[in-house]
């Protein structure tokens, strides 16, 4: 996966709580057997009507957000199905950072394994960012080394991320390769472990 | 004496391969269940790196999400077919056992694991599916993972996990007649919200849980994820042991006795402490119906649909308004006055034999309302066979239900079984999210008994007084 150290990006605000992975990528697109190309189907039922025409009232269809790479959402973001197609779709669309007051566990985890940085901020902070991003050309800088987020208008916040996930993202490591360095321990464990 | 431990800690300690302060532990996986939708990219990943499946014997695959439930000999959907063929090829190439289409054990992954005795107390179980929590009913630590982790488990038989925080959900009291495990878990989520379990593994305890059958416990654990918890479990007891005895993959003879001893020793120790506890009294629970687009938007059958003007916060008000609009409902209407067009009895929440027996028991010679189309989708080939031996298929068919082949079906509407736009469905599944059962479909989650009653009445009714 692509390392993520410091990212400057255009912000897209999605002001809804409990955005579930069925919304992020509807099931009709889960039949593909590759990891690529899911971006065009991101938020499909919100972005397109029954005749596959873009819905004007959905904010991600506005021209000003087309190059967004940072999404700010509401609480419990990514709840529901474990489908990793959700982060694949977000990543393929161009998102590298998702900011929310809280995340569903599996989704959070899936993000970190696909080069997407999930950032938990306080609700007051995400609300502020959502407001700021209603304006044109609102950019944020996300610094994973310093665990800081800021803009050029005075917004400044810090966030936390488990050290393990931080290292993975900073280096873009292949997790399996890391685990295989524990091969001896796994082997030793298997010698005595009983599975009925 | 050693520190008293919860079952969650006992399983963790038994299966952790490597641990360091402040970092996730490397957890050994005892059973990896695989299905066609979340695995192709994982196998592809192995191939690209020249890796193998480390423990094919601890891995088991089936096909469920995409499978047709009618005319199963011809799969018309080309893309679904590719996904199923891909799984078959992957299983052959990597030596993974498969109960695919046409196999006598094929079925929904969370139904067949327990049924075949693969699911056992104390095991760590993963699957690329969030409802893996179902297997926790046996006292297993079972949770859903993403496809990258599926690849990781295939290749290393381990996952990196943060040691779980523990949540005790204590449910005392007795369930009333006509009130089921489904109502219990819906009432719990209605009370505490869709994310009270986030970051925790739940242990369900208390008298009401102890008196549930294994099927009822599975229904409860299944929906742990709907409360935000990746896993939920119930300590193994005699009910658990009895369920497993004689199952295909359960240990036999002396080994069974040995296993049984180990299983029962996993119960949470007296005096062990949890990070958090919440409670519910089963005696107060009534049959439930969801009215909105998340499982916490749920009311008792005698309730009325909430009014956004009475919401406590502006956010709540907007959520309610949004859900009412999607669901095509008016505030303050009695839920029993809401007509339905579809009924779906199935899914890994409620498609086991006991669910079908209970659903059929409501029919009593009556017919499905002419304005309703109703389908019953057994959870597995085994469930289907056993139900047919009991004549349940005839009872459903005579009443006007369709009797289908096993699969996920209308739970997520990937296989073509869908609720049409703006139509309303009483469903025994676990998610009422927007578009879950089809674009613009309106889902109401209920128990199997409530689903049958609604099918006959043509609207929601209180199953306790429905005669
Ligand atoms: S029945 Fe529904 S919830 Fe269960 S595994 Fe299938 S799609 Fe998922």
Contacts of B156 in chain A (CB under 8 A): 176, 179-180, 186
Closest Cα of chain B to A153: distance in Å? 27
Which pLDDT does position A28 carry in this prediction? 87
pLDDT digits (tens, 9 = 90+) for B20-49: 998 999 999 999 999 999 999 999 999 999
- Two domains, one topology: B7-163 and B303-465: yes
The matching CATH number, chosen from 3.40.1190.10, 3.40.50.300, 3.30.499.10, 3.40.190.10, for B7-163 is 3.30.499.10
pLDDT digits (tens, 9 = 90+) for B211-260: 999 999 999 999 999 999 999 999 999 999 999 999 999 999 999 999 99
pLDDT digits (tens, 9 = 90+) for B103-124: 999 999 999 999 999 999 999 9
pLDDT digits (tens, 9 = 90+) for B381-391: 999 999 999 99
Considering CB atoms only, which of B37, B86, B435 is closest to A22?
B435
* The two three-digit tokens of residue B181, written as one number: 């495990």
Residues B144 and B130 sit within 8 Å (Cβ to Cβ): yes
Check whether B313 has a pLDDT greater than 80: yes
Check whether B141 has a pLDDT greater than 80: yes
- The ipTM (two decimal places) reads 0.93
Contacts of A18 in chain B (CB under 8 A): 194, 294, 319
Which pLDDT does position A131 carry in this prediction? 97
User: What is the rounded distance in angstroms from the CA atom of residue B300 to the CA atom of residue B240?
Assistant: 30
User: What is the rounded distance in angstroms from the CA atom of residue A99 to the CA atom of residue A117?
Assistant: 8
**A12-21, B77-86, B248-257, B346-355, range with the lowest pLDDT:** B77-86
pLDDT digits (tens, 9 = 90+) for A77-122: 999 888 999 999 999 999 999 999 999 999 999 999 999 999 999 9
Considering CB atoms only, which of A84, A102, A163 is closest to B22?
A163
Q: Could you tell me which residues come within 8 angstroms of residue B440 by beta carbon, excluding any fewer than 6 positions away?
A: A50, B326, B421, B422, B434
- B380 - beta bridge partners? B107
Q: Do A182 and B18 touch (CB under 8 A)?
A: yes
The matching CATH number, chosen from 1.10.10.10, 3.40.50.2000, 3.40.50.300, 3.20.19.10, for A6-192 is 3.20.19.10
User: What is the rounded distance in angstroms from the CA atom of residue B65 to the CA atom of residue B84?
Assistant: 10
Question: Rounded to two decimals, what is the model's pTM?
Answer: 0.94
Band of the pLDDT at B289, cuts 50, 70, 90?
Answer: very high
Residue nearest to atom 2 of ligand 1 (CA): B411
Higher pLDDT, B396 or A27: B396
Which pLDDT does position B268 carry in this prediction? 98
Which pLDDT does position B2 carry in this prediction? 80
User: What is the rounded distance in angstroms from the CA atom of residue B65 to the CA atom of residue A73?
Assistant: 29
What backbone torsions phi and psi does residue B398 show, to the nearest 5 degrees? -60, -30
| Order of strands, sheet of B16-18, starting from the edge strand that comes earlier in the sequence | B16-18, B25-28, B158-161
Q: How many CB atoms lie within 10 A of CB B309?
A: 10
Residue of B nearest to A189 (CA): B17
Q: What is the mean pLDDT of residues B83-102?
A: 97
Residues A88 and A61 sit within 8 Å (Cβ to Cβ): no
Closest Cα of chain A to B152: distance in Å? 6
**Residue written as token pair 């305890």:** B205
Average pLDDT, chain B: 96
Percent share of chain B, pLDDT over 70: 100
User: What is the rounded distance in angstroms from the CA atom of residue A23 to the CA atom of residue A110?
Assistant: 16
Q: Do B195 and A76 touch (CB under 8 A)?
A: yes
Which pLDDT does position B211 carry in this prediction? 97
Check whether B76 has a pLDDT greater than 80: no
A6 Cβ under 8 Å from any chain B Cβ: no
- Domain locations in chain B as residue ranges: 7-163, 303-465
Domain B303-465 has CATH 2.40.30.10: no
B408 belongs to an annotated ligand binding site? yes
Check whether B1 has a pLDDT greater than 70: no
Q: Could you tell me which residues come within 8 angstroms of residue B305 by beta carbon, excluding any fewer than 6 positions away?
A: B291, B299, B324, B329, B330, B331, B332, B333, B334, B335, B338
Dihedral sign from CA coordinates of B349, B354, B357, B361: negative
B281 Cβ under 8 Å from any chain A Cβ: no
Considering CB atoms only, which of A17, A22, A164 is closest to B436?
A22
């Amino acid at each position: 996966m692509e390392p993520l150290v410091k990212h400057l990006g255009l912000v897209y605000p999605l002001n809804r709580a409990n955005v579930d992975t069925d919304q992020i990528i509807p099931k009709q697109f889960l039949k593909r057997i590759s990891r690529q190309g899911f971006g065009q189907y991101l938020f499909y039922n919100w972005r397109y009507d029954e005749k596959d025409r873009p819905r004007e009232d959905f904010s991600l269809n506005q021209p000003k957000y087309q190059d967004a790479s940072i999404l700010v959402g509401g609480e419990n973001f990514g709840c529901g199905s474990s489908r990793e197609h959700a982060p694949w779709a977000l990543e393929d669309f161009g998102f590298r950072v998702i900011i929310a007051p809280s995340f569903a566990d599996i989704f959070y985890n899936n993000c970190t394994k696909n080069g997407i940085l999930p950032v938990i901020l306080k609700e007051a902070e995400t609300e502020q960012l959502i407001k700021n991003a209603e304006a044109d050309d609102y950019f944020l800088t996300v610094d994973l080394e310093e665990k800081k987020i800021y803009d050029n208008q005075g917004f400044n916040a810090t966030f936390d991320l488990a050290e393990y996930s931080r290292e993975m993202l900073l280096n873009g490591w292949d997790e399996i390769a890391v685990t295989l360095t524990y091969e001896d321990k796994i082997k030793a464990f298997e010698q005595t472990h009983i599975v009925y | 004496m050693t520190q008293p431990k919860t079952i969650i800690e006992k399983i963790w300690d038994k299966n952790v391969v490597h641990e360091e302060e402040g970092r996730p532990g490397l957890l050994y996986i005892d059973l990896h269940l695989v299905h066609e939708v979340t695995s192709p990219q994982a196998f592809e990943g192995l191939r690209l790196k020249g890796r193998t499946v480390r423990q094919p014997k601890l891995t088991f695959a089936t096909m469920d999400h995409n499978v047709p439930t009618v005319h199963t000999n011809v799969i018309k959907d080309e893309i679904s077919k590719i996904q199923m063929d891909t799984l078959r090829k992957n299983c052959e190439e990597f030596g993974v056992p498969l109960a695919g289409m046409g196999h006598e054990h094929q079925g929904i992954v969370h139904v067949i694991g327990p049924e075949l005795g693969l699911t056992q107390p104390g095991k760590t179980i993963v699957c690329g599916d969030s409802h893996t929590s179902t297997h926790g009913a046996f006292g297993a630590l079972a949770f859903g993972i993403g496809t990258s982790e599926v690849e990781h488990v295939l290749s290393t038989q381990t996952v990196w996990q943060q040691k779980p925080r523990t949540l005790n959900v204590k449910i005392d009291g007795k369930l009333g007649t006509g009130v089921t495990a489904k109502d219990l878990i819906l009432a719990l989520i209605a009370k505490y919200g869709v994310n009270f379990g986030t970051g925790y593994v739940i242990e369900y305890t208390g008298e009401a849980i102890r008196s549930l059958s294994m099927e009822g416990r599975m229904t409860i654990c299944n929906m742990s994820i709907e409360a935000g918890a990746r896993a939920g479990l119930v300590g193994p007891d005699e009910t658990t042991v009895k369920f497993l005895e004689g199952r295909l993959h359960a240990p036999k003879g002396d080994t069974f006795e040995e296993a049984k001893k180990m299983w029962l020793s996993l119960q949470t120790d007296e005096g062990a402490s949890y990070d958090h506890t919440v409670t519910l009294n089963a005696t107060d629970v009534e049959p439930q119906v969801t009215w909105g687009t998340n499982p916490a938007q749920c009311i008792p059958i005698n309730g009325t649909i909430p009014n956004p003007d009475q919401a406590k916060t502006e956010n709540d008000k907007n959520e309610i308004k949004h859900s009412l609009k999607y669901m095509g409902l008016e505030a303050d209407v009695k839920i029993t006055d809401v007509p339905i067009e579809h009924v779906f009895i199935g899914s890994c929440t409620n498609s086991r034999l006991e669910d079908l027996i209970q659903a059929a028991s409501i029919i009593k010679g009556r017919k499905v309302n002419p304005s309703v189309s109703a389908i019953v989708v057994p959870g597995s080939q085994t469930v289907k066979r056993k139900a047919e031996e009991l004549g349940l298929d005839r009872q459903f068919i005579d009443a006007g239900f369709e009797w289908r082949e096993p699969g996920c079906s209308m739970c997520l509407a990937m296989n073509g079984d869908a609720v049409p736009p703006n139509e309303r469905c009483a469903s025994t599944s676990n998610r009422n999210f927007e578009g879950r059962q089809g674009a613009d479909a309106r889902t109401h989650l209920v128990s199997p008994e409530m689903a049958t009653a609604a099918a006959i009445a043509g609207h929601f009714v209180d199953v306790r007084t429905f005669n």
